[in-house]
Amino acid sequence: MRKPLIAGNWKMNKTVSESIEFARDFVKAVSNVTDRDILICPPFTSLYPVSEIFNGTNVRLGAQNMYFEEKGAFTGEISPLMLKDAGCSFVILGHSERRHIFGESNELINKKVLSAVSHGLVPVLCVGELLEEREEGKTFDVVGSQLEEGLKGVSADSEFVIAYEPVWAIGTGKTATPELAEEVHRFLREKLSELFGSKKAESVRILYGGSVKPENVDGLMAMNNIDGALVGGASLKVESFVKIVNFGR
Ligand code: 13P
């Protein structure tokens, strides 16, 4: 059985003091949760202070991006060593905002994925189609090649997480229906099975992201191939994110 993973992606939100305030309240509110994993991905500036609060709790820390090199003349970038040093165990890679606002290619994302696993960080590889790609019937082609190219060279014994985030459902209030999301999740698991074998494919967690809220999380999590959520807006308030963590209760 795959243990559910509920992840919050704060994107470019929260100052250090706002992050600390959230983290203190949040760890108390979820301290008794053991049957699902919990991850929060704050902006870089809040990683270290938040890690001091999460340390020794059931809440894991992740970053929202990284560069693939360990150090050097890469102005403005953050390395996997720095993320580990700041207390991260996960890193989101290939988020649609990185792909579409900052022009990240599958090739660059693959370098980051390989670097993350080789440094012992668990990558959360995001895939997802644009509205026009869905309308043109290209969803499976797009997410299939994002998955395959993003994971090129990754060995079956490395841990990684996949997040399906249809771009048209991010921050728009339009969630994919559970059935529509499940169809893509099932496809992604079949693709993982082709690439890594069925045993590995059955163990990989595939999260859904895109306007997940306390009101719609139960329906999504009831699907066979949806193993968690990657939550943007609704992870910014302790109350709504705690409700999402406690889905189905
Ligand atoms: P929203 O939950 O705000 O739609 O964001 C989803 C997302 O992009 C998480 O990575």
- Along the 249 residues of the chain, how does pLDDT read in single tens digits? 899 999 999 999 999 999 999 999 999 999 999 999 999 999 999 999 999 999 999 999 999 999 999 999 999 999 999 999 999 999 999 999 999 999 999 999 999 999 999 999 999 999 999 999 999 999 999 999 999 999 999 999 999 999 999 999 998 888 889 999 999 999 999 999 999 999 999 999 999 999 999 999 999 999 999 999 999 999 999 999 999 999 999
In this prediction, residue 174 carries a pLDDT of 82
At a CB cut-off of 8 Å and minimum separation 6, what does 105 contact?
A: 99
CA of 166 to the centre of ligand 1 (A): 10
With beta carbons less than 8 A apart as the criterion, state whether 54 and 29 touch.
no
**Token pair 């243990």 is at which residue?**
3
User: How many CB atoms lie under 10 A from the CB of residue 52?
Assistant: 11
Choosing from 5, 64, 230, 244 the residue with most ligand 1 atoms within 8 A of its CB, the one to mutate for a pocket test is 230
pTM: 0.98
Would the CB of 230 count as within 6 Å of ligand 1? yes
Please report how the helices 16-29 and 238-245 are oriented relative to each other, as an axis angle in degrees rounded to 10: 40
In angstroms, the CA 237 to CA 163 distance is: 21
CA of 83 to the centre of ligand 1 (A): 22
In this prediction, residue 233 carries a pLDDT of 98
Would the CB of 43 count as within 6 Å of ligand 1? no
Going by alpha carbons, the residue nearest to atom 5 of ligand 1 is 232
What is the CATH architecture of 5-245? Alpha-Beta Barrel (3.20)
Going by alpha carbons, the residue nearest to atom 2 of ligand 1 is 232
What are the tokens at 160? 């990684």
User: How many CB atoms lie under 10 A from the CB of residue 227?
Assistant: 23
Q: Kindly list the catalytic residues.
A: 95, 165
Three-state secondary structure call for residue 42: coil
At a CB cut-off of 8 Å and minimum separation 6, what does 191 contact?
A: 144, 147, 148
CA of 212 to the centre of ligand 1 (A): 7
